[in-house]
């Protein structure tokens, strides 16, 4: 696996973002913009126009290359909101980004095909980030194929409302790999070119499952696709260490560094500056100079 990991990190992977190739030989940082009232991490909830504008500026100033905007909370036991409410929240934020940072690369975190289409067609959003990999809206795959934008698909067992009730796997790594193999084939058959895999830390997984997944992370190189890791301030840190999300920055930095050493191409984070620093350090080690 070590040789495969090195080949994966050799610079062959890239993403086509609005006609511009993004080289992933140096990992990218994706900053989280939560416009929900009930995100699990209170420090990253923003809702007023002023707060949204300030958060966007912070994400970009601290060095993120992608803004990931979410209007539907996917924390365990999250409140289910309507597509109309999700769209209204997104329109407010996307208008601000378009006005203040028209060249920013924006990803929208949604599992709904209609919401994805609205964001791309009306606001030029660059990437669709789907926590359900098409499982919660069967029209998502064909919609992404039509929109012709990069697609992040995440592994999740269940839905945000029930995913942590009693997650169980007979063979976690085998089941996650099979899940992705089937999804990748479906999307390739539809002509989708730019795919990103997200193992789904914290989504339908126990603390033990999450660390098993991290231990095998380099094996995802077999797919020869970009790998996104999102562990920022999650329960795999807080439950293990007995701390709150507010106190989980150090644990997040440790796991982000491990993920980078194991081949992560994109880090999805609340704390951009610290992630950018981790990328710079690991990149220095990987490139050996």
* Domains contained in the chain, number: 1
Residue 44, φ and ψ in degrees, nearest 5:
-120, 15
pLDDT at 207 (0 to 100): 96
- The yes-or-no verdict on residue 116 having pLDDT over 70 is yes
Q: How far apart are CA 96 and CA 133, in angstroms?
A: 28
Describe the crossing of helices 249-261 and 207-215 by its angle, rounded to 10 degrees. Answer: 30
Contact 204, 168 (CB under 8 A): no
- Beta bridge mates, 20: 17
Q: How far apart are CA 45 and CA 33, in angstroms?
A: 8
The Cα diameter of the chain in Å comes to 51
pLDDT digits (tens, 9 = 90+) for 138-192: 999 999 999 999 999 999 986 666 666 778 899 999 999 999 999 999 999 999 9
- CATH number of the domain at 160, please: 3.20.20.20
Q: How far apart are CA 263 and CA 219, in angstroms?
A: 9
Q: Give the end-to-end CA distance of the chain in Å, rounded to a whole number.
A: 23
Whether 174 is a known active-site residue: answer no
pLDDT band at 18 (very low <50, low <70, confident <90, very high): confident
Whether 165 is a known active-site residue: answer no
> What's the whole-model pTM score?
0.90
Residue among 55, 75, 233, 268 flagged as catalytic? 268
Query: Which residue segment(s) compose the domain that 270 sits in?
Result: 2-287
Residue among 75, 233, 234, 262 flagged as catalytic? 234
């Amino acid at each position: 696996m070590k040789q495969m990991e090195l080949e994966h990190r050799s610079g062959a992977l890239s993403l086509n973002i609005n006609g511009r190739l993004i080289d992933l030989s140096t990992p990218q940082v994706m900053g989280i913009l939560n416009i929900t009232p009930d995100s699990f991490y209170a420090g990253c909830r923003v809702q007023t126009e002023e707060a949204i504008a300030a958060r966007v500026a912070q994400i970009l100033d601290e060095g993120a290359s992608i803004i990931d905007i979410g209007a539907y909370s996917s924390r365990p036991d999250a409140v289910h909101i309507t597509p109309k409410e999700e769209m209204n929240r997104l329109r407010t934020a996307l208008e601000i980004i378009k006005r203040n940072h028209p060249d920013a690369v924006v990803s929208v975190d949604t599992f709904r095909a209609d919401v994805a289409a609205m964001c791309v067609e009306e606001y030029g959003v660059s990437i669709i980030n789907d926590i359900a990999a098409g499982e919660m809206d069967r029209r998502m795959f064909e919609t992404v194929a039509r929109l012709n934008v990069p697609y992040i698909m995440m592994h999740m067992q269940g839905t945000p409302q029930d995913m942590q009730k009693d997650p169980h796997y007979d063979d976690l790594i085998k089941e996650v790999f099979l899940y992705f193999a089937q999804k990748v084939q479906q999307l390739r058959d539809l002509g989708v070119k730019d795919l990103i895999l997200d193992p789904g830390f914290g989504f339908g997984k126990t603390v033990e499952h999450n660390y098993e997944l991290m231990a095998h992370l380099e094996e995802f190189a077999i797919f020869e696709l970009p790998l996104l890791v999102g562990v920022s301030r999650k329960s795999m840190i807080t439950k293990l260490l007995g701390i709150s999300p507010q106190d989980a920055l150090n644990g997040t930095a440790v796991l982000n560094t491990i993920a980078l050493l194991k081949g992560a191409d994109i880090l999805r984070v609340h704390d951009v500056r610290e992630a950018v620093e981790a990328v710079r350090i690991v990149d220095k080690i990987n490139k050996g100079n």
